[in-house]
Amino acid sequence: MKRLFLILTVLTLALTACDKNKDYIVTIHTEYGDMKLILYDETPLHKKNFLELASEGKYDSTTWHRVIEGFMIQGGDVNAKEGTREKPEDRIPAEIVEGFWHTKGSLAAARQGDNMNPEKKSSAVQFYIVQGKVYDEDELTTDRAKLAEAIGKLFEMPEYDTLMQEYIQLQKNRDYDGINQFMIKCKTIAESVSEEDLDMPIDPERLDGYTTLGGAPHLDREYTVFGRVVEGLDVIDKIAAVKTGRMDKPVQNSYITMEVGMMPKKKITELYGYEYPEQN
């Protein structure tokens, strides 16, 4: 009976996908509440793959296996659930689209690092949802590489020894937020000494997103973002706050189930505020 239900579900999704006036809504059920997601047409390989896994029940009974508060929640390890290993040939080609940023609620594909995966191919199953943090404008409009180089030159000057000691203490304490704030604080001094402009341009929409909603801008252009949470952002915060142990794994398992449905695009816009790109 369950197999028949899955077959009927997949057939229904395939038939209704032809209606350009409708789109999929994926609901992730968790013990902390539900999250509703839309998936981007601009990333068709990832959208198709995610919908198939969700509609076939593959994601059901998987867990949030990696959780880092202030960063992201990661789940969907179907291979761990089934006792299998992901094959390299199953991975999905990158679909990194300019303008799909890692703002809070963004749905993106996990992947191996560039050293083993220079093409930035995505995992065939694992995904993450961004929590991140809200940024100050200075943090996003500063060229970090140039700033770090300029601060290094400051530390070579005896008159800035106090600053250097402050930085060393932050490193000892592993206070990464403190280090970030310290570098921004030193920007004006570094510009004055180096006589170099340390600003860099940033897309206005990207700047607005990270200074209001927040997110993880350092992931941009590195991972495929293929959807976003349109309802249930508070659930991300609740999951991100759980107690974790080794390798950022939650101490207590928190399970996922998914449900896939269809809804008119007009209604999606009315309910969730998501604006679809104009069709040519």
Q: Which residue has the higher pLDDT, 129 or 175?
A: 129
First-residue to last-residue Cα distance in the chain: 43
Please state the rounded mean pLDDT for residues 45-50: 98
- Looking at domain 2-134+203-272, its CATH superfamily turns out to be Cyclophilin-like (2.40.100.10)
pLDDT at 20: 87
pLDDT at 3: 53
pLDDT at 17: 52
For residue 8, name the pLDDT band (cuts at 50, 70, 90): very low
Please state the rounded mean pLDDT for residues 178-192: 92
Instruction: Select from 3, 9, 123, 127 the least CA-distant residue to 63.
Output: 127
Question: Any idea which of 166-180, 231-245, 263-277 has the lowest mean pLDDT?
Answer: 166-180
Alpha-carbon distance 65 to 63, whole Å?
Answer: 5
Copy the structure tokens of residue 3: 């197999």
Cβ atoms within 10 A of the Cβ of 159, count? 8
pLDDT of residue 4 exceeding 60, the answer is: no
Question: Any idea which of 13-22, 116-125, 207-216 has the lowest mean pLDDT?
Answer: 13-22
> Is the CB of residue 202 less than 8 Å from the CB of residue 140?
yes
What's the pLDDT tens digit per position in 193-252? 989 999 999 999 999 999 999 999 999 999 999 999 999 999 999 999 999 999 999 999
Phi then psi for 54, rounded to 5 degrees? -70, -45
Cβ atoms within 10 A of the Cβ of 54, count? 25
Handedness of CA 38, 264, 262, 254 (dihedral sign): positive
Instruction: Select from 170, 202, 209 the least CA-distant residue to 186.
Output: 170
> Is the CB of residue 160 less than 8 Å from the CB of residue 154?
yes
> Is the CB of residue 143 less than 8 Å from the CB of residue 163?
no
The whole model's pTM is what?
0.88
Please state the rounded mean pLDDT for residues 181-196: 92
Beta bridge partners of 33: 30
DSSP 73: E
Alpha-carbon distance 103 to 101, whole Å?
Answer: 6
Copy the structure tokens of residue 19: 């209606």
What's the pLDDT tens digit per position in 131-168? 999 999 999 999 989 999 999 999 999 999 999 999 99
What's the pLDDT tens digit per position in 53-111? 999 999 999 999 999 999 999 999 999 999 999 999 999 999 999 999 999 999 999 99
Q: What is the mean pLDDT of the chain?
A: 92
Copy the structure tokens of residue 216: 């993880």
Q: Where in the chain is the domain with CATH 2.40.100.10?
A: 2-134+203-272
DSSP 159: G
> Is the CB of residue 67 less than 8 Å from the CB of residue 73?
yes
pLDDT at 277: 86
